[in-house]
Amino acid sequence: MAPSGSLAVPLAVLVLLLWGAPWTHGRRSNVRVITDENWRELLEGDWMIEFYAPWCPACQNLQPEWESFAEWGEDLEVNIAKVDVTEQPGLSGRFIITALPTIYHCKDGEFRRYQGPRTKKDFINFISDKEWKSIEPVSSWFGPGSVLMSSMSALFQLSMWIRTCHNYFIEDLGLPVWGSYTVFALATLFSGLLLGLCMIFVADCLCPSKKRRPQPYPYPSKKLLSESAQPLKKVEEEQEADEEDVSEEEAGSKEGTNKDFPQNAIRQRSLGPTLATDKS
């Protein structure tokens, strides 16, 4: 009988532990986990969201306070959530997380950054006293649902995907570091060429180029010909008049030279005998 009694105590302890495990698990489930798939739930209702990383010491110190604050979520009518930025890089870019831990309060789609003390009491007072009303909400341009922040989220996801591929090339495939960089360089080059071809194709489809027909040579009309011919006729008449004046002047100069020639010949003849007598 003694051995059976000694086994009863360990069995009772084991039953109590198994009975308490679901209760402990239920307490931890008060903090909801937000991912890229369900983050739009934050746009409705009252929320307190913590952005953390498992390796961050400040985040580790905050976890007990945050878990205790989550127990009051139902009484305060507020949802308590957390985001692991190492697992959800898209949300890290969407909310522009530059420091850890970062806490946001959201009320019906309006986001405000909490910058007060990080204790359970301060969190409760922040919600119960509605201290969040004194904080300026994030601009709609930089809200998590805006086009700008959606692009930022996609960029962060792309960077994480590239990092994952880089680690796969080096650790699993055994490529050197420069080999991984070469693969990404070639991928960037070909993707740029493909994107350029797609843009040209879309531009041609939306704005097709119009073929221009050669325009016929504009022949001048009769009026234009007659009007343009009149100045030419005037120029020709002036040139002819100038030529006639020049010919008359030349003819007059020739007549003058012909008249002077006989007189010069007579003088030479008269002077000829006198020169002969002088020589003798």
Question: Among all residues, which ones are annotated catalytic?
Answer: 56, 59
CA dist list (Å): 116 to 37, 105, 113, 121, 269: 29, 12, 9, 11, 141
What's the angle, vertex CA 189, arms to CA 188 and CA 194, rounded to 5?
A: 95
Question: CA 192, CA 185: separation in Å to the nearest integer?
Answer: 11
- List strand residue ranges (DSSP E) for 56-186, in order: 79-84, 102-107, 110-114
User: What is the amino acid identity at position 273?
Assistant: P
Note whether 123 and 76 are within 8 A (CB).
no
List the end-to-end C-alpha distance of the chain, in Å, as a whole number.
199
Locus of tokens 């990404």: 184
Tokens at 45, concatenated: 């209702």
Question: CA 168, CA 52: separation in Å to the nearest integer?
Answer: 26
List the helix and strand counts (H, then E) for the chain.
8, 5
| Phi–psi pair at 136, nearest 5 degrees | -70, 125
